[in-house]
C-alpha cells in the first residue's frame, strides 16, 4: 500500500491537530525509512532483502513510537508554536498574530491529552507508549531519532 497523504479534520485546536500530525508523521517516517534499513546497519541488510515491500513493525512498537511523538509534541507545543510564528508570521494562527498566546484552556487541553496518552490501558497504544518512553529515556537519553532508527533495524524496543 502506498501512502500519498495525511489528512486531518478541520476545526480542531492547534494542540489536537499538531499531536495528530506528529503521530501520523511518525508512521510516514517509518514507511519512508523501512525501505532503506541498510543506511542504519552499515549496508549489512538487516532484513535479508533490504526492507521494502513486506516490512512492517509490530503494532505495539510502531504505535508506541507514534504515541510518544504525539506526547512529545503536546509537551513542547508552546515552543513549536513560537518558533513557527517567527518563521512564518503570515501563517500564524489568528490568536497569535502578535506572538504566541497560550490560554489557560490550551494548557489544560494539552495536559488532558498527555494524561490520556500516559494512562491509556490498551496494549498496543498505552503499553506501546510506555515502552517507547522508557526506551527513549533509559537507552537513548532523549534522542528520538536514535530510538526510531533502532526500531527500524531491530523491529523492537531495546527493553
Return the SS3 of 47.
coil
Answer whether residue 95 is part of any domain: no
- Give me the mean pLDDT over the 23-42 stretch: 77
pLDDT tens digits along 65-112? 999 999 999 999 877 666 666 665 555 555 555 555 667 788 889 999
Q: Does residue 88 sit within a domain?
A: no
The domain of 149 spans: 14-72+108-154
3-state secondary structure at position 57: coil
Residue 8 lies in a domain: no
CA distance 65 to 84: 24
pLDDT at 58 over 70: yes
Q: Are 31 and 3 in contact (CB under 8 A)?
A: yes
According to DSSP, the residues that pair with 99 across neighbouring strands are 97
Q: What is residue 36's predicted lDDT score, i.e. its pLDDT?
A: 62
Amino acid at each position: 500500500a502506498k501512502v500519498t497523504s495525511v489528512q486531518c479534520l478541520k476545526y480542531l485546536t492547534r494542540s489536537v491537530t499538531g499531536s495528530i500530525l506528529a503521530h501520523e508523521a511518525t508512521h510516514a517516517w517509518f514507511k519512508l525509512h523501512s525501505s532503506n534499513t541498510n543506511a542504519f546497519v552499515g549496508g549489512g541488510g538487516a532484513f535479508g532483502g533490504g526492507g521494502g515491500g513486506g516490512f512492517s513493525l509490530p503494532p505495539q512498537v510502531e504505535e508506541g513510537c507514534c504515541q510518544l511523538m504525539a506526547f512529545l509534541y503536546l509537551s513542547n507545543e508552546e515552543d513549536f508554536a513560537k518558533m513557527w510564528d517567527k518563521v512564518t508570521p503570515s501563517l500564524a494562527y489568528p490568536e497569535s498574530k502578535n506572538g504566541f498566546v497560550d490560554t489557560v484552556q490550551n494548557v489544560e487541553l494539552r495536559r488532558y491529552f498527555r494524561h490520556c496518552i500516559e494512562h491509556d490501558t490498551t496494549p498496543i497504544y498505552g503499553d506501546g507508549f510506555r515502552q517507547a518512553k522508557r526506551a527513549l529515556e533509559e537507552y537513548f537519553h532523549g534522542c528520538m531519532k536514535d530510538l526510531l532508527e533502532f526500531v527500524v533495524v531491530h523491529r523492537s524496543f531495546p527493553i
